[in-house]
Amino acid sequence: MDIKVAERIAELMRDEGINQVQLAAKIGVKQNTVSSWVLGKKEPNISSLWRLADYFEVDIDYLVGRKPY
């Protein structure tokens, strides 16, 4: 399975017009954590995936590339 978390987070941030600092504050993580996700160095844990999905109002399946939208 091709996991697209980094791409999806970056795309959703662009669509929402927010930066890494703003996203980190909204979901309760550090900015360097968001940076690691966007650069593909790390993947969000399940609780972070839930917070990302809730914030962006998308399914976790979308975030991990199992759904096209």
Q: What tokens appear for 51 in the block?
A: 């917070």
User: Does residue 39 form part of some domain?
Assistant: yes
Phi, psi for 13 (deg, rounded to 5):
-65, -45
Give me the CATH number covering residue 22. Answer: 1.10.260.40
Q: How many domains does the chain have?
A: 1
> Quick check: is 68 in a domain?
no
Alpha carbons 65 and 26: distance in angstroms, whole number:
23
**CA 7, chain centre distance (Å):** 8
Does some domain include residue 69?
no
Q: How far apart are CA 20 and CA 9, in angstroms?
A: 10
Domain ranges, residue 42: 5-63
Q: What is the pLDDT of residues 4-54, one digit of tens each?
A: 899 999 999 999 999 999 999 999 999 999 999 999 999 999 999 999 999
Q: What's the CA gap between 23 and 31, in Å, rounded?
A: 8
Its pTM surpasses 0.75: yes
